[in-house]
Structure 1
Amino acid sequence: MKVWLAAMIFILCWATWLSFFTPVIDTILNSGLFVLVGIIGAIFANSTGAGGGVIFVPVFSAVGFSTEQMISTSFAIQCFGMTAGSLSWIFHYRRHHRLDPTWIAFGRFCGLSALASISGLWFSTLVQLPPPVSIHISFSLFSIALGLIILTHSRKSTAQLTNHHKQHLDIIALVIISFIGGIVTSWLSVGVGEMLVIYLMLRGYCTKLAIATGVVVSAITVWSTAPITFSADSAAHFETLLFAGPAAIIGGLLAKRIALYFSIQKLKQFFSVWIILTGTVMLGLH
């Protein structure tokens, strides 16, 4: 009953939001297909830990959005989808892994990585740190190379880490990676989640823990941009967000079920193919 009530309130709020875009029929016809974009982007983002920007940005580029519109709109949609996905993963952790020694560092990994990622993103934003000329190419090659490494790594069985000393060392590494990932995310609306998942998987942590960490940190990171993303001066395309944002919630809720459906090896292989695709798309955008 509570679910149905929440759904009705959500639909009512969405319909009220839609009424501000007139004529309504033209708005639906012009932007309705972004529902599909939102669902697909959120499913990939929340089942792999990589940001949905790699789906959103190419689509927005194809329809003629400016760079500022692409990045801002991608951030706004991820505020919907990554939040739904992160809550889904957190509930999964609380129900199934609270006493699991392979997940014992989940809270620390998420909290410290999120703080470092936000610091990197806002450092880049406040000092107006420009991306290197070859950022798309370097990030593409980075993604493709690590995707191939993980694809090879997925064929091997890996002991899952529970050693506390190693986890302390990994926390230091994750903070550094997250700070850099936050900077990359400020440029591309994608980066920190992907980098965290790659590191944790290569270190031998539970694959689902790695994905959950990437999703939660990405969600917190994109929400830290809310003062800009949802401001009156935002470059975000809110008509697109009207359809893609709520659809991303659906994709975010479906993603965990998809991730849990696959075996660990299949999930690693799926993720490696996804980040290879990420690198290829980024290369194509350049």
Structure 2
Amino acid sequence: MQLKRRLPKIHPIIFITAISLIGLWLQWAVTTPNIDQLFLSHSGFLFLGVCGAIFANATGAGGGVIFIPAFSALGFSPAEAITTSFLIQCFGMTAGAMTWCHYYLKQHHQDDSWQGFPILVACCALFSISGLWISQYAALSAPVSLHVSFSVFSIALGAIIIVNSLKNISSHSLTTFKTSPVNDCIMLSGLSFLGGIITAWLSVGVGEIIVIYLMLRGYCTKLAIATGVVVSAMTVWSATPITLSADSVANFEVLLFAGPGALLGGLIAKRIALFFSVIKLKIFFALWIMLTGLVMIAVA
């Protein structure tokens, strides 16, 4: 009886969504030619999906922080890497977003430190999706190559987080949404719009920008992560008319294995995030994205 009480409860909506996605995947796998050969050659991408989703949903960074360097090392073209990363994130970021929302509703919907969470998500998602689609319609392209853009973006954001974390390591006061709701919404609208454009280029961007802004403003770190995860999930789903179009260059053989891995990783990532202290989570987040940036420069 004691063991049963300790087992984590899964919200029915999360359970039904996970089962539905698994069912669709099984149907897809059964109808895929040479699935036995693909399992032997591509099963390693299952582990990649798990790792990418755990990191993405435990820190607020998009899964592209893991997938883009990996796909670049495997020789994927920039378009193939970005499109495949978007589709994998539809699995992982969705699972992560649902678990973070459940966590908010169950434990923090009345907490002062989590005030404004739904408003922050709605505001950021609206402008992030707008930025992504304007980037597509206006055919905006990154000013430099994928390798350089991703590297500079990652290193700069990581450095900002480390400096801020070390400066405020002894601070225990938190900013709440009621402190400056209008200014924060205006700033996040602009940053999310820019993040949507960057996400269209790199498959990452908006989640990291949102998390960093909220951290710098002094918001609860877990609120910042949850907001970044949910907005990233909504952004990657908004791109499915592009990523699943007839002209899509996504590697669906990789997606077949990385997708369910990302789903699993997304479901357990929140528990990993809650295990670490706020400062450790910030430092880990910063060091990882800086490391991936440096690796991308090295292999360019």
TM-score of the pair, normalised by structure 2: 0.88
Cα drift, residue 165 of structure 1:
4.5
Out of 24, 46, 51, the residue aligned to residue 57 of structure 2 is 46
Q: What secondary structure is seen at the aligned counterpart in 1 of 2:163?
A: helix
Residue 248 of structure 1 pairs with residue 276 of structure 2: no
The residue type equivalent to 1:80 in the other structure is F
Cα drift, residue 20 of structure 1:
2.9
Residue 213 of structure 1 pairs with residue 227 of structure 2: yes
Find the aligned partners of 1:219 and 1:6 in 2 and give their Cα distance.
Answer: 14
> What pairs with 1:10-159 in structure 2 (closer than 5 Å)?
11-133=22-144, 135-153=149-167, 155-159=169-173
Q: Conserved in 1, the CA contact under 8 Å of 2:22 and 2:260? A: no
Counterpart residue number, 1:202? 216
Residue 263 of structure 1 pairs with residue 274 of structure 2: no
Q: What secondary structure is seen at the aligned counterpart in 2 of 1:233?
A: coil
Q: Conserved in 1, the CA contact under 8 Å of 2:155 and 2:289? A: no
The residue type equivalent to 1:31 in the other structure is H
Out of 139, 147, 166, the residue aligned to residue 180 of structure 2 is 166
Q: Conserved in 2, the CA contact under 8 Å of 1:43 and 1:254? A: yes
The residue type equivalent to 1:199 in the other structure is Y
Root mean square deviation of aligned Cα: 2.2
Flag the 1:171–1:33 CA change in 2: closer, same or farther, 3 A.
Answer: same
Comparing 125-134 with 143-152, greater Cα deviation is found at: 143-152
Flag the 1:279–1:63 CA change in 2: closer, same or farther, 3 A.
Answer: closer
The residue type equivalent to 2:279 in the other structure is Q
Find the aligned partners of 1:114 and 1:10 in 2 and give their Cα distance.
Answer: 23
Flag the 1:154–1:52 CA change in 2: closer, same or farther, 3 A.
Answer: farther
Q: What secondary structure is seen at the aligned counterpart in 2 of 1:169?
A: helix
The residue type equivalent to 1:142 in the other structure is A
Find the aligned partners of 1:89 and 1:71 in 2 and give their Cα distance.
Answer: 25
Flag the 1:106–1:232 CA change in 2: closer, same or farther, 3 A.
Answer: same
Find the aligned partners of 2:133 and 2:172 in 1 and give their Cα distance.
Answer: 36
Cα drift, residue 136 of structure 1:
3.7
Instruction: Identify unmatched segments of 5+ residues in structure 2.
Output: 1-9
The residue type equivalent to 2:83 in the other structure is S
Cα drift, residue 100 of structure 1:
0.4
Find the aligned partners of 2:55 and 2:19 in 1 and give their Cα distance.
Answer: 27
Counterpart residue number, 2:5? none
Comparing 63-72 with 130-139, greater Cα deviation is found at: 130-139
Q: What secondary structure is seen at the aligned counterpart in 2 of 1:83?
A: helix
Find the aligned partners of 1:23 and 1:86 in 2 and give their Cα distance.
Answer: 33
Q: Matched residues, percent identical?
A: 52
TM-score of the pair, normalised by structure 1: 0.93
Instruction: Identify unmatched segments of 5+ residues in structure 1.
Output: none
The residue type equivalent to 1:225 in the other structure is A
Cα drift, residue 139 of structure 1:
1.6
Cα drift, residue 5 of structure 1:
8.4
Q: What secondary structure is seen at the aligned counterpart in 2 of 1:112?
A: helix
Flag the 1:141–1:163 CA change in 2: closer, same or farther, 3 A.
Answer: closer
Count of aligned residue pairs for this structure pair: 286
Flag the 1:162–1:249 CA change in 2: closer, same or farther, 3 A.
Answer: same
